């Protein structure tokens, strides 16, 4: 088959896979952002109990392979009567995973702000959590945008692992088309091209966001 | 009756085994300016931080207008104590105006209009009306410190604490900050100032407190401390200061 035939043949399925991929990515990144903030604040500003719980959870997730986590959710939980569809298992798995990583990025960002900002906020009579909300987070979240961009791109690519538990994302579709037509090289090349172009678009969108939120003097250097 | 604004009673602080404050007692009365001097590492910053509980003391009491400051009421009491840091600590993501008014809005719950009006007033008092919309990184060190002073004053504090407010500044910028502080002292603000700007101390201080190794070595009116200190250590330290800092910057 010619390349054009391959494109015509596989695009509809690849694109329907892509919507699932994008859905999983956006879902996991957003849920991960929310719980990442919670975990990070627990680890940095929480009491002993919250600190222990957050750090334990973060280390557990970061210390085990993504695939093992997915298998536990999809193949392990049914042992206890909890049956998840592949998509739900993947959504939960990626969200939890991303939360742990995002918590650590944010923690690094908070640490780079320095203690003076907190002291100054307390000195005008703010309570600790008020200072976190009004002074620390607005700065830390801005600084974490580059790391968050990377996280988003990682996620986009990592969601391809969900094909292993049978979630109908783009990689699963690619595998299906490729093996049915015996066109492994061309189909996977095409798939790679789709991933790449999405990564480009994302990078562009995030660098635009970063510029819009930029405040004079608050330059983000890491990337 | 002369009102005592700040009373510190037998304050002690250890970091691990190191005794940083070994029992400090002092009083600042309404409208007074007291200046603390002393070698590096003596515990001057720790003392100020203990006053508004940015650091928790191990022993002793701090009273503001007769009310004891505890870790429980600290966030209420801090509103009445302006704190000016050596390295400014302006909120980096906020403009000068927002830096000054955020406490009014978030802590004192004033309306935005009211807060803005007070903030602009304070900025104009420190001579920075035109800089209201600039971010900290767009200001010089001296301007940053003046914004920090305006931020503290906007809360209408009973007491101002200054921790070496000019020692992070280039020499040519020190004067503008000192002159704001001198005006403030003369306007009747109660102030406790850690500084080695002896000209400032001579001009407005009611009392100089010489601290060393966590203790007050000597205290008294500037005229006495500068011309005829009673302790050898004070004399030696003052001589070293003059060598180090050279001529006084304030006439
Ligand atoms: N958080 C801390 N943990 C341990 N030691 C500390 C801490 N903060 C201060 N110290 C120690 O306490 C001592 C007093 O510090 P402090 O900053 O109060 O001195 P200072 O008189 O303000 O000195 P300087 O003139 O250099 O500002 C120093 O030896 C310092 O190392
Ligand atoms: Mg100090």
Instruction: Give residue A1's pLDDT.
Output: 75
Q: Which residues of B touch A216 (CB under 8 A)?
A: 135, 137-138
Facing residue for B54 by CB, picked from A123, A125, A135: A123
Asked if A112 and A143 touch (Cβ cutoff 8 Å), the reply is: yes
- Nearest ligand 1 atom, CA B49: 18
Mutate to test the interface with A, among B45, B83, B106 (most CBs of A within 10 A): B106
CA–CA separation, B234 and B215 (whole Å): 13
| Ligand with the closest atom to the CA of B20 | 1
Mutate to test the interface with B, among A125, A128, A135 (most CBs of B within 10 A): A125
B92 C-beta closer than 6 A to ligand 1: no
Q: With bands split at pLDDT 50, 70 and 90, how would you rate the model's confidence at A221?
A: very low
CA–CA separation, A172 and A21 (whole Å): 10
Rounded to the nearest integer, the mean pLDDT of chain B is 94
**Contact across the interface for B78 and A123, Cβ inside 8 Å:** yes
B159-163 vs B59-64, strand pairing mode: unpaired
The string of pLDDT tens digits covering residues A118-175 is 999 999 999 999 999 999 999 999 999 999 999 999 999 999 999 999 999 999 999 9
Is A115 an interface residue toward B (CB < 8 Å)? no
The string of pLDDT tens digits covering residues A4-54 is 888 898 899 999 999 999 999 999 999 999 999 999 999 999 999 999 999
Q: Which residues of B touch A138 (CB under 8 A)?
A: 93
Q: Can you tell me the mean pLDDT for B229-242?
A: 91
Facing residue for A125 by CB, picked from B75, B93, B137: B75
Is A213 an interface residue toward B (CB < 8 Å)? no
What number is the ipTM of this complex? 0.94
Instruction: Give residue A173's pLDDT.
Output: 92
pTM score? 0.91
Query: What sign does the dihedral B101-B105-B107-B110 (CA atoms) show?
Result: positive
Structure tokens at B98: 């927002």
**Domains observed in chain B:** 4-80+159-250 (3.40.50.300), 90-156 (no CATH)
Ligand 1: residue whose CA is nearest its atom 28: B41
3-state secondary structure chain A: CCHHHHHHHHHHHHHHHHHHHHHHHHHHHHHHHHHHHHHHHHHHHCCHHHHHHHHHHHHHHHCCCHHHHHHHHHHHHHHHCCCCCHHHHHHHHHHHHHHHHHHHHHHHHHHHHCCHHHHHHHHCCCCHHHHHHHHHHHHHHHHCHHHHHHHHHHHHHHHHHHHHHCCCCHHHHHHHHHHHHCCHHHHHHHHHHHHHHHHHHHHHHHHHHHHHHCCCCCCCCCC
Instruction: Determine what percent of chain B is predicted with pLDDT higher than 70.
Output: 96
Ligand 1: residue whose CA is nearest its atom 10: B15
Residue showing tokens 């007291």? B34
Q: Which residues of B touch A117 (CB under 8 A)?
A: 89, 91-92
Using the mean position of ligand 2's atoms as its centre, give its distance from the Cα of residue B83 in Å: 13
Using the mean position of ligand 2's atoms as its centre, give its distance from the Cα of residue B194 in Å: 8
**Domains observed in chain A:** 22-168 (1.10.3720.10)
Residues 121-140 on A with a CB inside 8 Å of B are 121-127, 130, 134-135, 138-139
DSSP letters spanning B136-203: GGGS-HHHHHHHHHHHHHHT--SEEEEESTTTTS-HHHHHHHHHHHHHHHHTT--EEEE---HHHHHH
The string of pLDDT tens digits covering residues B138-167 is 999 999 999 999 999 999 999 999 999 999
């Amino acid at each position: 088959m010619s390349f054009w035939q391959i494109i015509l043949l596989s695009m509809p399925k690849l694109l329907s896979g892509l919507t699932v991929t994008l859905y999983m990515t956006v879902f996991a990144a957003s849920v991960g952002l929310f719980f990442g903030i919670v975990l990070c604040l627990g680890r940095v500003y929480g009491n002993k109990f919250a600190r222990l719980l957050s750090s334990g959870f973060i280390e557990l997730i970061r210390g085990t392979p993504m695939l093992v986590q997915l298998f536990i959710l999809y193949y392990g939980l049914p042992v206890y009567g909890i049956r998840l569809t592949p998509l739900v298992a993947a959504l939960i798995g990626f969200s939890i995973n991303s939360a742990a990583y995002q918590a650590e990025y944010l923690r690094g960002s908070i640490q780079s702000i320095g203690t003076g900002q907190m002291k100054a906020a307390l000195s005008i009579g703010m309570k600790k959590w008020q200072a976190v909300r009004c002074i620390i987070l607005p700065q830390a979240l801005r600084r974490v945008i580059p790391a968050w961009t990377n996280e988003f791109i990682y996620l986009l690519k990592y969601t391809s692992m969900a094909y292993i538990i049978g979630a109908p994302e783009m990689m699963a579709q690619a595998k299906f088309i490729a093996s049915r037509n015996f066109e492994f090289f061309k189909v996977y090349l095409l798939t790679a091209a789709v991933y790449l172009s999405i990564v480009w678009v994302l990078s562009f969108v995030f660098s635009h966001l970063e510029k819009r939120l930029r405040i004079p003097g608050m330059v983000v250097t890491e990337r | 009756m002369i009102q005592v604004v700040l009373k510190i009673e037998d304050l002690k602080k250890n970091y691990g085994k190191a005794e940083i404050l070994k029992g400090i007692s002092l009083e600042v009365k309404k409208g007074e300016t007291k200046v603390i001097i002393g070698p590096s590492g003596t515990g001057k910053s720790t003392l100020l931080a203990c006053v508004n509980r940015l650091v928790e003391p191990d022993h002793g009491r701090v009273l503001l207008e007769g009310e004891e400051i505890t870790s429980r009421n600290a966030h209420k009491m801090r509103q009445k104590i302006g704190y000016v840091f050596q390295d400014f600590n302006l909120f980096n993501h906020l403009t000068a105006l927002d830096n000054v008014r955020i406490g009014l809005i978030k802590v004192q719950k004033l309306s935005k209009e009211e807060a803005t009006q007070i903030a602009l007033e304070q900025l104009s008092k420190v001579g920075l009306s035109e800089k209201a919309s600039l971010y900290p990184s767009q200001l010089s060190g001296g301007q940053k410190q003046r914004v920090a002073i305006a931020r503290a004053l906007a809360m209408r504090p009973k007491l101002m604490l200054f921790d070496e407010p000019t020692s992070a500044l280039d020499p040519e910028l020190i004067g503008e900050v000192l002159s704001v502080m001198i005006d403030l002292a003369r306007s009747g603000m109660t102030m406790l100032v850690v500084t080695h700007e002896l000209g400032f101390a001579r001009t407005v201080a009611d009392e100089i407190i010489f601290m060393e190794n966590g203790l007050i070595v000597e205290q008294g009116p500037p005229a006495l401390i500068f011309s005829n200190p009673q302790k050898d250590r004070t004399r030696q330290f003052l001589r070293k200061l003059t060598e180090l800092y050279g001529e006084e910057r304030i006439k």
